[in-house]
Structures are given as structure tokens and as C-alpha cells.
Structure 1
Amino acid sequence: MDELIDILTPKGEFTGKTALKSEAHKNGWFHATVHIWLFTSDKKILLQKRALTKKVFPGLWDISVAGHIGAGEAILTSAKREVFEEIGLELEEKDLIKIGTRIHQVKHKNGIQDNEHHHVFIAELKVPISTLKIQVEEVDAIKLFDLSILKDTKNLENVLLSRFNEYYVSVYNKIIELLNLQKF
């Protein structure tokens, strides 16, 4: 779905300009996205299998939920909206723990240029995945994997991308840190 998004500088500052997502990808303009990694207290991570109709990484088991921040939309509002749209889960702002922002620059073979500032969150999944409702236009399936999958993506086929292993390990470390804090 094409949507209106804010155009950012390479440093992540607002330019005051907006464009359709397709224009931003065509021209390589920086813009903002949200990544929400959902984990369970028993050290599982929810991954979604991207719909085969997706323009980048179709059919890949990927981040629990991700999406573009709409023009003028607050980051947390976007994160909550994307989680609800893609998997039917209602989260409160207090459930979302921001663990960082990362710059992502990838030029895809199909001409899409992803120049994005990813606002990365973790949140505990406290409901059975059988209660979630996937958005079929975006997601083919959801599944819980052992959290350790984030540490070693080198020998996996169609699950995450080994070139982003450092990012996944940082997410793993933050989740483990939070789970260890919850024990006390």
C-alpha cells in the first residue's frame, strides 16, 4: 500500500517535505520506519513470514512487525498501529520499549532504495499466537522461534538475513537483558 510519509535528512531530521512511500523508495529519500520485536517470557521470538506479494524480501521470515511511519504520525502511534494492522494485537505505549534507532541503507535489485531510520522496539507477547489475526496482504504466517535464532542466522534459509546479524544480536541482547531484569 502506498502511503504518505515524511522525508528526512540522512541524520533523521524532518525536511518539512512529504512524499508517497513509492517515490521515497524510487528516489532514495530518507524516511522513518518502526520495527517491533515481540518476545515471550520463555525466550521465544515471534517472526512473520512476509507475503509473497511484498516488493522486498517476499516469503522471508522476518521482524515480528515493521512498517512505515505515516506523515505527521508519532513514532509510538505508528508502532501501535502497525502491530494492530499486521497481527491484530493491541499494545499500550508502556508495552513498547525503544531499544534504539538504526540507519538502514539498501539498494534492491528491483530498483527500490531503502534509506530508512528504523525506530526499534521490543515488547513482551503475553497472548497465545492463536489469538492473533494476520493481515493477509502483508503477512503469510506468524510463528514462534527460539530466541537464539537471532544470534546465528548464517545457516538459515529464508529466515532473517545473515548480513543483518549484528542488528539481530543487538535485539537478542536487549531482550535477554530485560528478561533477566524481570527475574528480580
Structure 2
Amino acid sequence: MELWDIYDNKGHKTGLMKKRTDILSRGQYHLAAEVWIINDKFEILIQKRSDNKKILPNIWTLTTGCMVSGENTVDGSIREVEEELGICIKKDDLNFIRRIFQGNIIWDIYFVYMNIELSKLALQKEEVSDVKFVSAGEFKDMLLCGEIFKYDEIYDILSRV
């Protein structure tokens, strides 16, 4: 059973914990992170969500995940990248970009600048069905076509690549 720490609208822990399956009340938030892996050609690593996912199956996204109780977004990002892609990153690899409140989620966005050989990735099949690098232009085109999960601030973040 996965537990989440609950945060307030200022991003402070409330001392409450809830199960992942619980519905959060208004003004309650949980932490999540999104990791943009960018190579030296300024291409962005995107991953296609598995077709068995309940939320957004077969949609291209970035590496994302919810933080479990006691975990901050730095440690959670390291865990998610390793679980989903088999890539070991360190705290120093993570460059904090922005915090976004969306729905009942507090998203911390990080960039990781790293060259990766796609053939050496170990994809977590329950989560990820495919990966590829795309240029910023290709990323924008995929956003416009609805192929990549889109949120309001994504264009601002993309402009920082």
C-alpha cells in the first residue's frame, strides 16, 4: 500500500498521510516530479506510457512519478528514473527548474543533462513501452498533435531546453 505525505497550498507538509487510492480534499496536495533528460544535442528523452496504464495509456510523456511518504522530489526523481528507464542518476545531476501546482499535485520539474544510448535502457514494461529522443521542434509538434501529455506551463519549460 503506497502512502503519500499531504501538503498544503504553500508546499508545506501537513503531517497527514493518505493512501494513493484516497481522494484528496480541497487544499490537500501530494508531491510528484517530472524529469527532462536532455542530451548534448539538446534533444529531449521522451517515453511512451504502457498501454495497460489506467491514466494516459500510449501517450508520450517525460519521466514522472509520485513521491511516497518520507520521500522528497530529488530522491523520488532518482528512484523513478532508475525504475522506469534503468538509468542511475545522482542528486548533482538534477537541475531544479520549477514548481507547479496542478489539481491536487505539486510537481517539481528537473532537467538532467546526460547522453544516453537508448539501446542500453532497461524499460519498466508496466510503465514504459518505448523511448526516443526528439528535438524541441519535434516536441512542440507532438504537443500540438496531442501526442505528448500537455499542461499549461510546458511551453515555458520547453523554452529553457
1:91 aligned residue: 89
1:173 aligns with 2:151: no
The one-character-per-residue Cα deviations of 1:58-109 (angstroms, maximum 9, x if unpaired) are 110011x10011101122111100100000000011111000100112xxxx
> Do the aligned residues in 2 keep the contact of 1:34 with 1:68 (CA within 8 Å)?
yes
Shift of 1:168: 2.1
TM-fit CA distance, 1:135: 0.5
* Corresponding letter in the other structure for 1:148: G
Residue 70 of structure 2 corresponds to 72
CA distance in 1: counterparts of 2:139 and 2:8, whole angstroms: 30
Structure 2 partner of 1:43: 42
Contact 1:151 1:168 in 2 (8 A): no
Runs of 5+ consecutive residues of structure 1 not aligned to the other structure:
106-114, 176-184
Q: Is the 8 A contact 1:86 1:139 kept in 2?
A: yes
Q: CA deviation at 1:24?
A: 4.0
Tell me how far 1:131 sits from its aligned partner: 0.9
Q: Distance in 1 between matches of 2:18 and 2:93?
A: 30
- Alignment correspondent of 2:107: 118
Task: Tell me how far 1:155 sits from its aligned partner.
Answer: 3.5
TM-score between both structures, scaled by the size of structure 2: 0.90
Structure 2: gaps (5+ residues): none
Alignment partner, residue 156 of structure 1: 145
Displacement, 1:48?
0.7
> Which 4+ stretches in 1 moved above 4 angstroms?
none
The two structures, once aligned, show a CA RMSD in angstroms of 1.8
**How many correspondences in the alignment?**
160
User: Once the 2 structures are TM-superposed, how far is the Cα of residue 43 of structure 1 from its aligned partner?
Assistant: 2.0
Q: Secondary structure at the match of 2:80?
A: helix
Q: TM-score, length-normalised on structure 1?
A: 0.79
Identity of matched residues, % = 26
Does 2:8 match 1:15?
no
Cα distance in 1 for residues equivalent to 2:9 and 2:156: 22
How far apart in 2 are the matches of 1:119 and 1:150?
A: 20
The offset of 1:151, in angstroms, is 3.7
AA in 1 matched with 2:94: L
Residues 100-149 of structure 1: per-residue CA shift (max 9 Å, x gap): 100112xxxxxxxxx10001000113221111111011111111111223
- Assess, with a 3 A threshold, how the Cα gap between structure 1 residues 154 and 71 changes in structure 2: closer, same or farther: closer
- Residue matched to 1:109: none
